[in-house]
Structure 1
Amino acid sequence: MVDSALITWSDTEQVIAEEAFSCAYGRAVQSVISTVRREADSINNAEALWRLHDYLSTQRHVMEGRFDFRLDGILFVFASLVKENLLDLQELDGLDADKIAKIKAMSRF
């Protein structure tokens, strides 16, 4: 278990974390956009339209929960994003080796 209260972040690490977070968020948004475009092209009735609406509502809820940039929990967020292939560990180069090791270990579960 990671005791996030004991983890300190340098200014440089915070910038790296913010940039990686932003890239992962952008990838997630692009994935939703791709799905919406694909699904929108096949809408031919009200049921399909409301299904797309429900998908968007669900994705907004999921993304708002997943993309929470608070340093006290960001290692968990990064591990989840790595696991979901929205973030590559190389994008975190420059973070303390212990932080990367924790992210890598948590992303395996």
Structure 2
Amino acid sequence: MIETMLQGWNEVEQTVARKAFDLAYSRAVEKLVATVRDKAGNLDSAEAVWQLHDFLSIERHTIEGRFDFRLDGILFVFASLVKDSLLQTDELTGLDDEKLAKIVAMSKF
């Protein structure tokens, strides 16, 4: 607790961050499931199955790497999620203005 307070995250902000993170993760998984259903419906060969396997391996690596809830890098994660429309800035209400401004600015690149 002391470590996170030193990083400038109070308890309210930590709760907001965790809720937003979980929401974006849920959306990413829903999007992946929809894509897999679509791709699985078009399987017609062994090659298509292996391509689906490769796609899933890449997506797993991407999601596991992207969704890392550590406060020291969470602003970058949130900016990426906002940029990709997995999170809206209003879902981060409760973070201080400086953090929100950084997320908005970084999401534009």
Q: Which TM-score bucket, shorter chain as reference?
A: over 0.9
Match in the other structure for 2:42 = 42
User: Which digits, 9 at most, give the CA deviation of each residue in 1:82-108, with x for residues without a partner?
Assistant: 001100000000110100000000001
Q: How many residues align?
A: 104
Structure 2 distance, partners of 1:20, 1:63, is 16
SS of equivalent to 1:42: coil
1:44 is displaced (CA, Å) by 1.0
SS of equivalent to 1:102: helix
Alignment of 1:1-109 (within 5 A): 7-109=7-109
Matched letter for residue 36 of structure 1: V
SS of equivalent to 1:94: coil
SS of equivalent to 2:15: helix
5+ residue gaps in structure 2?
Answer: 1-5
Root-mean-square deviation (Å):
0.9
User: Which digits, 9 at most, give the CA deviation of each residue in 1:11-46, with x for residues without a partner?
Assistant: 010000000000000000011100000010110110
Match in the other structure for 2:3 = none
5+ residue gaps in structure 1?
Answer: 1-5
Report the identity percentage: 60
